[in-house]
Structure 1
Amino acid sequence: MQGIKHIIFDLGGVILNINYQLTSQAFKNLGAKDFDKLYNQFHANALFEDLETGRVTPEEFLGKIKEHLPEGTTDQQIVDAWNAMLLDFPVARLQLLQQLRNHYDLFLLSNTNAIHLEALNKILEKERGIPSLAAFFDRSYYSHLIGYRKPEKEAYLVILDENGLKPEHTLFIDDTLPNIDAAIALGIQTIHLQAPKTILDIFRKN
């Protein structure tokens, strides 16, 4: 951590526990065929990418998804299936973020969407009594609000430019290798977080 002044965190798989298979299974249970070809951790077709960059609204997304589902499937059934991947916020990770804020500027950079953001904040409030992830970060950047998603370089540049961060003094932590590679290309310091390691393991050593 020598020379690091700022830390940018990914959300899913780093702070929030997620399981993509639960969403896959939920959609299969609704009658979707070949859902894994449409969406998984490492690939999303244009519809999901457009949702994550705000180019389609949640309502438009739900309408398009219905084309892959049996007639009569409700919006709420789709929302519930889409949110099934979102699990929990381990309290030790949230406590770590609070501790790190005493020493570093903390930022969040997440490929997410309006449906997931609403759901994950509800999870946080229900579990921990905290209404928003904003409580843990100096600033939060969500792909559907900034119009760019990782690994697009613009997603990182928005944070660097708006906050006057120097890449060499900035650490980026993510669990997806293409996102890490994109940050490295911009001169940002990185840690590729791979299960079963967690952010607690990273900072326990420093």
Structure 2
Amino acid sequence: MQKPKNIIFDLGGVILNIDFRQTALAFAELGIGNFNEYYTLQSVTPLFEKLETGAISPDDFYDGFRHLAKMPALTNDQIRDAWNALLLDFPPERIAWLKKIKETYNIFLLSNTNQIHYDAFTQIYRRQIEDASFDDLFITAYYSHTLGLRKPAREVFETVLAKEKLPAGETVFIDDSLANVEAAQSVGLQGIHLPSPKTVFDIGL
């Protein structure tokens, strides 16, 4: 692999620890035992697709989820808390590592997420790491709900490369999803697949 000048990181499973099972369990406690039919790392239903591309607001999502689950008594807070249960923690050593490699590489973030999760994980960062903006760790942080595009669409990567004027061959993309890495490679990016239990410390940058 050519030594890159630029690195684009995924968030969940790469920088932020996540566990989808926690959200499935939280929804099961609310009486929704089939959450994996609505959302997994590999596939999402139209309602979640709209949330993660910013096509609907959180309030519209809560209404849509009550309808989808056929549970009109669920409150917004119950849905929000169960949906956020997958967000765990930012290991301090990963954040320290990011700050160190900023001295050598231009670093960016590209994450499939949504306003509900964004509000939650930025608060987790402030509470666990430092009272500062998580986004400021990067030259630019790109999120699917503000881009209007979601990985693994090729257009996501083409958009980031164009906005930042990055040569694809000098840029590496790191993600825990193989489909996302393959999509990045299809537009000329170098790709690193980082499945659990591997971490950024196994990359060798």
Task: Give yes or no for the alignment of 1:9 onto 2:12.
Answer: no
**Mapping of 1:175-186 within 5 angstroms?**
175-186=176-187
**How many residue pairs align between the two structures?**
204
Offset at residue 135 of structure 1 (A): 2.2
Offset at residue 70 of structure 1 (A): 3.1
Q: 2: CA distance between counterparts of 1:131 and 1:19?
A: 25
Matched to 1:29, the amino acid is: E
Task: Give yes or no for the alignment of 1:147 onto 2:156.
Answer: no
Matched to 2:9, the amino acid is: F
Q: 2: CA distance between counterparts of 1:91 and 1:175?
A: 19
Contiguous gaps of at least 5 residues in structure 1: none
Contact 2:7 2:173 in 1 (8 A): yes
Q: 2: CA distance between counterparts of 1:131 and 1:29?
A: 34
1:80-127 CA-to-partner distances (Å, cap 9, x unmatched) read 000000000001110111011101110000000000000000000010
Contact 2:14 2:200 in 1 (8 A): yes
User: Which residue does 1:64 correspond to in 2?
Assistant: 64
SS in 2 for 1:40: coil
Contact 1:23 1:85 in 2 (8 A): yes
What TM-score do you get using the length of structure 1 for normalisation? 0.95
Q: CA RMSD in A?
A: 1.2
Offset at residue 132 of structure 1 (A): 2.3
Identity of matched residues, %: 44
Contact 1:174 1:192 in 2 (8 A): yes
Task: Give yes or no for the alignment of 1:42 onto 2:42.
Answer: yes
User: Which residue does 1:135 correspond to in 2?
Assistant: 136
User: What stretches of structure 1 move > 6 A for 4+ residues in a row?
Assistant: none
- Name which of structure 1's ranges 181-190 and 65-74 shifts more when overlaid on structure 2: 65-74
- Name which of structure 1's ranges 133-142 and 4-13 shifts more when overlaid on structure 2: 133-142
Q: 1: CA distance between counterparts of 2:41 and 2:56?
A: 20
**Mapping of 1:1-206 within 5 angstroms?**
2-67=2-67, 68=69, 70-203=71-204, 206=205
Offset at residue 55 of structure 1 (A): 0.8
Contact 1:16 1:87 in 2 (8 A): yes
Matched to 1:53, the amino acid is: T
Contact 2:24 2:33 in 1 (8 A): no
SS in 2 for 1:39: coil
What TM-score do you get using the length of structure 2 for normalisation? 0.96
